[in-house]
Amino acid sequence: MAGSDTEPRQTPEELQAEIDREQRRLAETLDELSEQARPSNIAKRQIGRAKERGARILDEARALVVGGGAVRVESRVVRPEEGSIVLKGDDKVVTTYQSRGRLPTEALILAAGVGTIVAVGVVAWAVRRKRG
């Protein structure tokens, strides 16, 4: 055996400094995880996602009803910052729309008609359910 194989590669002070750095890094990571795992923060993220999805669905429905009044310009996935802790589903889709102008009268009449039909259907369903 050569003498260099048994000699330490780092001094005890260097080893202690490295251990201290890793402990601080681990403590920071644990703090971040506990902050993200807090129920109130999870609820806030879920509410934010629901709002984003609802807005996206509303935009898509508006584009369909208008029949060309709004055009999707761009859709892209926005990834979290590098080094951040990612939970499943943290990616966000950002969609940009551009209006072509004022809504045509036919689209407004169609939207009002669909809204009326849905409202009558909900009322009929509620009355029927209450009787049954």
66-81 mean pLDDT: 65
Q: How many domains does the chain have?
A: 2
Query: How deeply is 120 buried, as exposed, middle or buried, from its count of CB atoms within 10 A (0-12, 13-18, 19+)?
Result: exposed
> What is the structure's pLDDT at 102?
65
For 96, residues 6+ apart whose C-beta sits below 8 A from its C-beta are 72, 73, 74, 75
Residues 119 and 62 in one domain: no
Is there a contact between 85 and 32 (Cβ–Cβ < 8 Å)? yes
Within a domain: 79: yes
* Cα 81–Cα 83–Cα 86 angle in degrees, nearest 5: 75
- Statement to judge: residues 51 and 77 lie in one domain: yes
pLDDT confidence bin for 88, thresholds 50/70/90: low
86 and 111 together in one domain: no
Q: What is the phi/psi pair of residue 71, to 5°?
A: -120, 135
- Whether residue 25 is found in the same domain as residue 89: yes
Range of the domain at 72: 9-101
Same domain, 32 and 97: yes
Encode pLDDT of 14-55 as tens digits. Answer: 989 999 999 999 999 998 888 888 888 888 888 888 888 878
Is residue 33 in some structural domain?
A: yes
Query: Residue 1 — pLDDT band, cuts 50, 70, 90?
Result: very low
Residues 96, 110 within the same domain: no
Mean pLDDT of all residues in 88-110: 68
